[in-house]
Amino acid sequence: MLEFVAELPKTISGKIRRVELRARAAEPRHEAAGATEFFYVPDQAR
């Protein structure tokens, strides 16, 4: 399953918070769908 998000969770130094992405993927709405990947889509690409 792919999920497109407006912005990725980042640390103060700008690194992507993978722990938070994994926690989002483990939420009940995602469990039935299996693996989830998150993609950042800049506003210009929409």
pLDDT, tens digit, 9 for 90 and up, residues 1-46: 677 778 889 999 999 999 998 888 887 765 545 556 777 777 764 4
pLDDT for 33 equals 53
pTM confidence score:
0.53
| Whole-number pLDDT of residue 10 | 93
pLDDT at 17: 93
**Which pLDDT score is estimated for 26?**
80
What's CA 32's distance to the chain center, in Å?
Answer: 17
Which residue, among 43, 26, 42, has the nearest Cα to 34 in the 3D structure? Answer: 26
Q: What is the pLDDT of residue 21?
A: 87
